Homo-oligomer: A and B are copies of this chain.
């Protein structure tokens, strides 16, 4: 271990600084291609979040960003793919933070209020997918600038659903699966397969669809949500240890905020405004 104490960190920091200069350029290219309606030939690694409706996908994404800004609830919420580019900014000399979001479809506007970002996502979703639970494959592209994030691209995808509701067509399940697969089929895409702990892991829509795109499990990470509301007398030990369904990259257990806490936060937000 004493032979090469310096070289490894050096090369990794060199790679990191190379990433810092390449990522903004490729992001820029992707934005241009997205506006033209085609996809870029260069594929930057993305992290896509997949799972059944209300499994906690958007909450997992928010936890990675550290801010509340996604539509959430016990109904279908994510109805268009949301491509979320996190851009790390330098902290100001006086120590204050400057966090804001920018949508590709509103290029001039900086959103400093994250509740406003949520409303804009809802408005823009309704504009393309209609107000009554319809789903569209047209992306919403959002950049979040913050000193507290890593340079990474996350994709929030519509949840898998089985029975059409509202304006949804009868083949809603197939449509949503097609949207999800169009992202996770790329070998550069890391898949976060979100499964709630209060259902059986063998019945996970997330692990099933991840398995069709990544059959050898090289780029799938299992995320077990809702550990706090499992049935009394059951536990997720065997899920998390990979004893039920093994994954090379393993499992992570998370506890997101409950719907109750979300509702309270929304009420508070409305009062304070």
Interface on A for B, CB 8 Å cutoff? 52-54, 74-76, 159-165, 173, 196, 198-205, 207-208, 211, 226, 229-234, 244-245, 258-263
Known: A161-B200, A163-B204, A233-B260. 10 other contacts (CB 8 A): A52-B203, A74-B234, A159-B203, A162-B202, A173-B208, A196-B198, A196-B199, A199-B199, A232-B259, A233-B258
Q: Are B163 and A207 in contact (CB under 8 A)?
A: yes
Interface residue from B75, B159, B173, B245 paired with A165 (Cβ < 8 Å): B245
Nearest B-chain residue to A239, judged by Cβ: B74
The 5 closest A-B pairs by CB, nearest first: A233-B260, A233-B259, A162-B208, A232-B260, A54-B200
Bound together, the chains give a CA A167 to CA B71 distance in angstroms of 41
Bound together, the chains give a CA A262 to CA B234 distance in angstroms of 11
Interface residue from B163, B230, B234 paired with A208 (Cβ < 8 Å): B163
Q: Which residues of B contact A163 (CB under 8 A)?
A: 201-204, 207-208, 211, 245
Q: Are A259 and B234 in contact (CB under 8 A)?
A: yes
Q: Which residues of B contact A208 (CB under 8 A)?
A: 162-163, 173
Bound together, the chains give a CA A232 to CA B163 distance in angstroms of 24
Q: Which residues of B contact A226 (CB under 8 A)?
A: 198, 231
Q: Are B205 and A162 in contact (CB under 8 A)?
A: yes
Interface residue from B54, B75, B204, B229 paired with A232 (Cβ < 8 Å): B229
Q: Are A200 and B258 in contact (CB under 8 A)?
A: no
Q: Are A233 and B263 in contact (CB under 8 A)?
A: yes
